[in-house]
Structure 1
Amino acid sequence: MNPAVTVLQLDTAFPRVPGDVACPDTYLEELQILSVKNATVERIVSDRPNQVDIAPFEAALKQANGQVVVTSCGFLSYWQAHLDKQTDKPFISSALTSLSHLSETYKPDEILILTFDAARLNKLHFGQYADYATGVVGLPAEMHLRKVITENLSQLDTNRVIQELSEFIGLKQRPHHKHLLLECTNLPPYKAALQTVTQLPVSDILTQIEAVRAGTIQPAYLVS
């Protein structure tokens, strides 16, 4: 039987803890991980997504056996339509794809979008939902989680991440925010803590996967 999900993962080695899109423990069924060689964080997390070399992802997509195919970096949202046309399986490049239905309920200023790097996530990544880019906030450069990802470190202190993220999102939330969208696929492990602080419904790459294929994600990581 084919895996439930295939993750086209960036060429990284930092820890993938439960709740991360590329951690097998996030899922109820088998996960296939295809590491895309040389697709580093520095190369993919770009404010010029149209200049990203997409060929390695096209090649990896041909090897995907999962019933649903996703990527491990939401900055690939620019290539959603392009890659989706190359497979007959449901393809999810980014949690930003959830804006197709969230936009029916929420105005641009009502969605708080938490990303890895706010300086590089721009309207090109949002496509037809460019108005929602005004709601983006990014992890500070000194934050532990961002350093682990940027420097591809081997150690991750999840308790520290929870504390720092909780404090940060508390400072960024405003009364007009009605929904929290986690663009970064490394943020869902901390979704419960973020929801406790904000008291907002939360969407991320995992809720997108579950919407396409019910019964795929461990319930603990679908808090909403």
Structure 2
Amino acid sequence: MTVSSMARGGKAIYGAPLGILMLEARFPRIPGDMGNAATWPFPVLYRVVRGASPERVVMQGARGLLQDFVAAATDLVDLGAEAITTNCGFLSIFQREIAAAVGVPVATSSLMQVPWVQATLPPGRRVGIVTVSAGSLTPAHLEAAGVPLDAPIAGTENGREFFRVLIKGEKQDMDVDLAREDVVGAGRELVARHPEIGAIVLECTNMPPYAAALQAAVGLPVYDIYSLVTWFHAGLRPRAFIQSSCSSPPLGGEVG
């Protein structure tokens, strides 16, 4: 078999097929946070959407920001992204518009996992949601992600650290132990109110660092943006178990 030496072009950046739209914020992004590049076992492309503060997106419904997110997503695709995701679950409200604008697969929110997780549960069990702000998670956000409008939800608004730092921006530093307590406490309260819960989905993309602690505390499966994005990326670059003569040559400026 003759091996081609032709390298394929057409992109500005190669080797990072997933683009992440970032909110504009200055709080710490610890390992596990979506905005920490070391979180991912593969390269990613980032684009910060200027003016899209967490408070504006979460508390104000991202009003007036759609075109900014579309422009940033389009820029990522132009650079070389083959799929787009975002670092705020509340951006589910832009799912349809961003996907229509960029023409590549788009997964705006961790909440999109809720219907999938529900399908795995035994009869009588439901998926619960832990969010950074239960009061801000509207039926429009849920409907856009395919989440039942009566889904059990708990938020971190009444915690001591997580909400104050991430949404209110009261300080740039964060006490990680207190933030963990806020997320785990919200999950415990959710399960206590709804004993029928069989699994939890974390809406907030800053919560994966605390997913293991929550799972240990409640003894239920916990899904988050990390589980969504690693699944999403697996479709972009499936693991090659078998090499064959009919395999397509590699993309991304590599020589086949």
Q: Same fold (TM over 0.5)?
A: yes
Q: Which residue of 1 aligns with 2:119?
A: 104
**Conserved 8 A contact 1:47-1:122:** no
Deviation at 1:24, TM superposition (A): 0.5
Question: Greater CA deviation, 97-106 or 142-151?
Answer: 97-106
Q: Is the 8 A contact 2:160 2:178 kept in 1?
A: no
Post-superposition Cα deviations, 1:90-110, rounded to whole Å, max 9, x if no partner, equal 211101111342343458971
TM-score (norm 1): 0.86
1:57 aligns with 2:74: no
| Partner of residue 167, structure 1 | 185
- Name the counterpart of 2:216: 196
- Return the alpha-carbon distance in structure 2 between the equivalents of residues 130 and 5 of structure 1: 24
Match of 2:47 among 30, 34, 45: 34
Cα 1:24–1:80, aligned 2, differ >3 Å: closer, same or farther?
A: same
Which runs of 5 or more structure 1 residues have no equivalent in the other structure?
Answer: 217-224
Map residues 113-124 of structure 1 onto 2, 5 A cutoff: 113-124=129-140
Q: Which residue of 1 aligns with 2:156?
A: 139
Q: Distance in 1 between matches of 2:67 and 2:166?
A: 23
| Matched letter for residue 200 of structure 2 | L
The Cα of 1:171 is off from its aligned counterpart by 2.7
Give the 3 Å change call, closer, same or farther, for CA 126–163 of structure 1 in structure 2. Answer: closer
State TM-score, norm by structure 2: 0.76
Q: CA–CA distance in 1 between the matches of 2:175 and 2:197?
A: 29
Change (3 A) 1:17 1:215: farther
Matched, 1:9 2:27: no
| Secondary structure at 1:18 match in 2 | coil
Q: CA deviation at 1:132?
A: 4.2
Equivalent pair of 1:8/1:72 in contact (CA under 8 Å): yes
Check 1:11–1:205 CA distance in 2 against 1; reply closer, same or farther (3 A cut).
Answer: same
Distance 1:143 1:169 in 2: 15
1:222 alignment counterpart:
none
How many residues end up aligned between the 2 structures? Answer: 215
Instruction: Show CA shifts across 1:173-219 (max 9, x none).
Output: 13211010000111111110000011111111111111122299xxx
Q: Do the aligned partners of 1:170 and 1:198 also contact (CA within 8 Å) in 2?
A: yes
In structure 1, the partner of 2:58 is 45
Give 1:157 shift: 1.6
Per-residue deviation, 1:150: 2.1
Mapping of 1:201-220 within 5 angstroms?
A: 201-214=221-234
Distance 2:220 2:44 in 1: 29
Equivalent residue in structure 1 for 2:199, among 172, 179, 191: 179
Determine the C-alpha separation between the residues in 2 that align with 1:18 and 1:61.
24
Identity of aligned residues (%): 26
Unmatched runs of 5 consecutive residues or more in structure 2: 1-13, 237-256
Range with bigger deviation, 73-82 or 151-160: 151-160
CA contact (8 A) 1:108 1:131 kept: no
Report the 3-state secondary structure (helix = DSSP H, G, I; strand = E; otherwise coil) of the residue aligned with 1:14.
Answer: coil
